[in-house]
Amino acid sequence: MTSRDFAAASWRKSSFSGGNGECVEIAFAGDSAALRDSKNTTGPAVIIPAASLTTLVASLSK
């Protein structure tokens, strides 16, 4: 999956953003997830399998 696949995706901000401009946005397309800096929406995004994101979030919340 490439960043082009996320061009029309619905991006949403983290619920932990706090409104200080230091936000992460996430979008899903197919079986992939993308993370990007909300201040740089045309910049790079980290694209990973959605299942890996689920594992990452679960491990961080322990």
- 26 has pLDDT over 70: yes
Amino acid at 46: V
Task: Give the mean pLDDT of the chain.
Answer: 85
Distance, CA of 3 to CA of 19 (rounded, Å): 26
- Say what the pLDDT of residue 57 is: 85
Cα separation, 29 vs 50, in Å, equals 9
At 1-17, the pLDDT tens digits run 666 678 888 999 877 76
If you average pLDDT over residues 26-42, what whole number do you get? 90
Q: Rg for the chain (alpha carbons), in Å?
A: 12
The structure's pTM equals 0.77
Residue 25: how many CB atoms within 10 A of its CB?
A: 19
Answer yes or no: is pLDDT of 18 > 70. Answer: no
Contact 3, 47 (CB under 8 A): yes
- Domain range annotation of the chain: 3-60
